[in-house]
Structure 1
Amino acid sequence: MKLTFWEAAEAVKATNDWKQWADFTLTGLEFDSRLITSGNLFVPLKGANDGHSFITSAVEKGASASFWSSEVEPPAALPVLKVSDTLKAMQDLAVYYLKKMTPTVIAITGSNGKTTTKDMTEAVLAQQFNTYKTQGNYNNDIGLPYTILHMPDETEKLILEMGMDHAHEIDFLSTLARPEVAAITMIGEAHIENLGSRAGIAAAKMEITAGLSAQGLLLIPAEEPLLVPLIKELPQTIQTFGWQQADCQAEIESEQKEQTSFKINGSDRLFTIPVPGKYNVGNALIAISIGRWFEIPEEKIQAGLASFKLTKNRTEWLKTPQGTEILSDVYNANPTAMNLVLESFAQMPTSGKRVAVLGDMLELGPDSAKMHASVSEHLNPNEISEVVLYGTEMKALFNVLKDKYPKEQLHYFTKEEKELLIEQLQSLVNPEDMIVMKASNGMGLNAIVEQLMKS
């Protein structure tokens, strides 16, 4: 990190006499004292635990300075920068650092596919530029400035994922990051409990334009009418992606278990991504459009997509010790996203049976039962022969499927019956079978996947 102690002090408008300490170079920044290394700036955040109480640990790990907003006095010998709010100080420092390092910022949001699109975009841009992207799910008011302050010095293109569960959160992130390019992957039903409707979700996602350069690019799905009235007065270049009447339009050539090939309008080139699903092709269209915006040759875009690495738990193929294949997509879920995954899974070739393990989709509000039940339209016993449902909200889908599936092919478990679910799966599946697992992260299906991988 190219920052000095005095630089940081001026950037955050520290209120104490920080010039009592000689200036020195900061090697990095951490808010988790366990991750501190020599020369780091410690950011004690106030949450369930007050980070100030870990200052001794931070110093022992090698912290050379700290933000400070506690009434308790800091260690006398430790250089500190007193601020009213340590989180805001980290955010202000991130704004300063962006202006100093001047990377081009690409912002990505959406109800589903943010992380996959981020991974694809980074792989495409890395063909020609020094890139850095949001690590894991560091996509909120803490994770985004943290990501900015961790980008390598040579970063030219910074790809930032922006998440939200309430209105005005992406507005803040976009204003902080000031992107040149922004993309909305899709409008689903995630967090509809907080935002009231899909229209409310669309408006919240459009907050990504709050800090978007007037000369920049906004990418939106062509098949989303809710966004149409929200883009009319925008000064930015607006491009669409999708399957019909889109600026970047795809036609799938072949879809296999571990890869999908497609062509786009205006090109004879065959693009291949190492993941299944029409929905992932939509994500790839965003990466292609961004690559084109930065004038990356098409063959390099093709190479980047073919070799991109997916963040863990996003459409990940695994194989159990017995040979059963698992399509694990357990990080988040909403009805639109779950239906897209099931549509793709139902067509995947297998010599055994297809089994769907579906957990609750959280934060869907008063219409949750109706939304869960609607997934039945994408479950056919002739295609997905066994269905295992998990969680309170999935009872609504179970009740609908009772008239569609034979009793022995439909299984339901409460969240307290996780071990019974695992036992059922272990006795149900054979080595030649294929399983898809999809749920909101809060349902903990990743732990069930891990157990199946061990057993």
Structure 2
Amino acid sequence: MKLTFWEAAKVTKATNNWKQWTDFELTGIEFDSRLITRGNLFVPLKGENDGHSFIESAVSKGAGAAFWSSTKTAPDQFPILQVADSLKAMQDLAVYYLKKMTPTVIAITGSNGKTTTKDMTEAVLAQQFKTYKTQGNYNNDIGLPYTILHMPDATEKLILEMGMDHAHEIDFLSQLAQPDVAAITMIGEAHIENLGSRAGIAQAKMEITAGLAVNGLLIIPADEPLLLPLTKELPQTISTFGLEQADCKATIIEAQKEYTTFNISGSDTLFTIPVPGKYNVGNALIAISIGQWFKLTEEKIQAGLADFQLTKNRTEWLKNNLEIEILSDVYNANPTAMNLVLDSFSQMPTLGHRVAVLGDMLELGPDSARMHASVSEHLNPTEVTDVVLYGEQMQALYNALTKKYPESQLHYFKKDEKEHLINALKSILKPKDMVVLKASNGMGLNEVVTKLLEM
């Protein structure tokens, strides 16, 4: 980290007599006292627990300094920077640090696929540049400035994921990060409870342009009619992607459960990504568009996509001792994303039966029952033989599926019946079968994945 104690004091307008301490180089920044290493700046945040209560732990681990925005007494003779709000101080420091280090910023948002797209984009750009990306899901008003302040000194391209639950949140993140390139993966129904409609979600995702460079690039899905009208007055370059008519258009050549091969219009190059599904081809098209914007050769883009590393807990294939293939996609869910996964899963070759385990999709608002029921259009007993549903919201899908699934192939469990669900799955699944698990993270289906791996 190229930042000193006095530098941080000036940027954050610290109000105490910080010059009583000799200036020194900061080695990093942490808000979790357990992660502190020698010379770090500790940022005590006020949440469920007040971070100021952990100052002694931070000091014992070697913290070099700390922000302080509490009425509690700060440690005696320990370098502190008195600020009104520790979080805002970290955000202000991130803004300054971006201007100082001058990486090119790429911002990615969307209702689904943003983490996979971030991973693909970083892998492509890493073929030619020093890169750094959002780690895990650090994509909010805390995680984004934290990511900026953690980038290696030599970073040339910084890939930032931007998440949101409500309107105006991405506006804030975009203004903070000032991206040169921005991409929207798709408009789904996630957080529709807070935003009212898909149109409201589209408006919120378009906030990514709030800080976008005037001469920058915005990438959007060609098949989303809600977005194109919102770009009409923008001065930036607009580029579309998709499997139909688009600036960057793909044709799928081969689709397997472990990989997908495709080409793009105007090129003979074959691109292969180590993940299934046409929705992931869409994510790859964003990475390709960004690679092209930064003048990478097709060979470099091809190489980056071929071996990109997916952030853990995103879509991943697993296999247990019975050779049951498990497609785990349990981090988040909305109807559009669930339908895409089911469409892809239903066509995957298998030596056994296909089984779907689907849990509640949260934060869908008053239309939740209708949206859950609509997933029935993407399930067919000739393709997915057994459907296991979990959670109160999935009752609506269960009711819809009784019209097409025999009672013996349709199974429903309430949220407090997870153990029963696991036992049922152990009876349903046979060697060589294939099972997909998809739900919002709050449903805890990762625990079911763990139990299936133990079979």
Equivalent residue number for residue 253 of structure 1: 253
Q: Deviations over 1:354-397 (max 9, x none)?
A: 00000000000000000000000000000000000000000000
The 1-side partners of 2:446 and 2:62 are apart by 35
CA distance in 1, matches of 2:199, 2:343: 25
In the superposition, the TM-score normalised over structure 2's length comes to: 1.00
1:131 partnered with 2:131: yes
Distance 1:125 1:447 in 2: 35
Unaligned runs of 5+ in 1: none
- Other-structure match for 2:336: 336
CA distance in 2, matches of 1:296, 1:93: 32
- What CA distance in whole angstroms lies between the structure 1 residues aligned with 2:275 and 2:69? 46
Question: What is the correspondence of 1:56-455 to structure 2 with a 5 Å cutoff?
Answer: 56-455=56-455
Cα displacement (A) at 1:452? 1.4
**2:144 maps to amino acid:** L
Aligned-residue offset at 1:451: 1.7
Q: Could you list the per-position Cα deviations for residues 192-238 of structure 1 after superposition, in whole angstroms to 9, with x for gaps in the alignment?
A: 00000000000000000000000000000000000121101000000
- Offset of 1:321 from its aligned partner? 2.1
Instruction: Give identity over the alignment, percent.
Output: 78
Q: What amino acid is the match of 2:409?
A: Q
CA distance in 2, matches of 1:298, 1:92: 38
Residues matched between the structures, number: 455
1:113 positional shift: 0.1
Considering only aligned residues, what root-mean-square deviation do their CA atoms show, in Å?
Answer: 0.5
CA distance in 2, matches of 1:192, 1:392: 18
Aligned partner of residue 370 in structure 2, secondary structure: helix
After TM superposition, what 4+ stretches of structure 1 lie above 6 angstroms from structure 2? none
Q: Map of 1:22-41 to 2, 5 A cutoff? A: 22-41=22-41
Corresponding residue SS for 2:213: coil
2:417 aligned counterpart, secondary structure = helix
**SS at 2:88 equivalent:** helix
Identify which range, 224-233 or 121-130, moves more after superposition. Answer: 224-233
Q: TM-score, length-normalised on structure 1?
A: 1.00
Shift of 1:73: 1.3
Measured after TM superposition, the shift of residue 454 of structure 1 is 2.1
Deviation at 1:315, TM superposition (A): 1.2
Question: Deviation of residue 172 (structure 1)?
Answer: 0.2
1: CA distance, partners of 2:54 / 2:320: 41
Verify: 1:8 aligned to 2:19, yes or no.
Answer: no
Separation (CA, whole Å) in 2 of partners of 1:313 and 1:281? 19
Please give the secondary structure, in 1, of the residue aligned with 2:252: strand
Moved more, 305-314 or 198-207: 305-314
Q: Partner of 2:393: helix, strand, or coil?
A: coil
Q: State how far apart, in whole Å, the 1-side matches of 2:69 and 2:446 are.
A: 38
Flag structure 2 segments of 5+ consecutive residues without an equivalent: none
Amino acid at match of 1:446: N
